[in-house]
Structure 1
Amino acid sequence: MTTFDDREAAFENKFAHDEEMAFKAEVRRNKLLGLWAAELLGKTGAEADEYAKEVVKSDFEEAGIEDVVRKVAGDLGDLADADTIRSKMAALLIEAKGQIMNEV
């Protein structure tokens, strides 16, 4: 294999790793968002965990975050608007990335 082939393989591996880490961070963010929303809804324990799983699953409806925002905003009603949820998601993504980096 040439040096070019080695570099190409390294870049491909890095890209795959970065994509995997981004996916894990988004899933973790959605779980944290679900737990946050569950708390606002008065859910605790297993009920809160189940709600967080529902939020994670809602992300697979379409590309982007709007499917998650729509689900959580619909469930929370007057407790939080869509902009508040988007802001919380941005903050939780940073937290999720930090958690994942500490696990590695």
Structure 2
Amino acid sequence: MTTFDDREQAYENKFAHDAHLNFRAEVRCNKMLGLWAAEQLGKTGNEAESYASGIIKADLDEASHDEVIASIASDLDGKASVAEVAAKRAEFLVIARKEVLEES
């Protein structure tokens, strides 16, 4: 194997590792967002966990995060706007990325 091949393999490994970390951060962010929204809706315990799991699944199934954000804002029915939900998601994504990086 040449040096070029070694470098290419290392780059591919780094790309896969970074993609995995980003996926974990996105899932964690969605869970935080789901739990936050559940709290706004007065859900607790298993009901809140179930709502958060639904948010994670919806984000995996949907084409964009915007659709999930709009859905959450709709669920909140005036308790938070789309912009407020998007801001919360951005806030949680920073926290989730930090936590995932610290764990790895």
User: Does the alignment reach a TM-score above 0.5?
Assistant: yes
Structure 1 outlier segments of 4+, above 3 Å: none
What TM-score do the two structures reach when normalised by structure 2? 0.94
Cα distance in 1 for partners of 2:53, 2:62 equals: 17
For residue 62 of structure 1, what is the aligned residue in structure 2? 62
What TM-score do the two structures reach when normalised by structure 1? 0.94
For residue 47 of structure 2, what is the aligned residue in structure 1? 47
Letter of the structure 2 residue corresponding to residue 80 of structure 1: A
Shift of 1:93: 0.2
Shift of 1:102: 2.2
Percent identity for Structure 1 against Structure 2:
51
Cα distance in 2 for partners of 1:45, 1:92 equals: 20
For residue 89 of structure 2, what is the aligned residue in structure 1? 89
Gaps of 5+ in 2: none
Cα distance in 1 for partners of 2:102, 2:92 equals: 15
Shift of 1:64: 2.5
Does the aligned pair in 2 maintain the 1:55–1:71 contact within 8 Å?
A: no
- Greater RCO between the two (CA within 8 Å, min separation 6)? 2
Name whichever of 59-68 and 46-55 sits farther off: 59-68
Cα distance in 2 for partners of 1:103, 1:70 equals: 31
Cα distance in 1 for partners of 2:30, 2:58 equals: 9
For residue 10 of structure 1, what is the aligned residue in structure 2? 10
Gaps of 5+ in 1: none
How many residue pairs end up in the alignment? 104
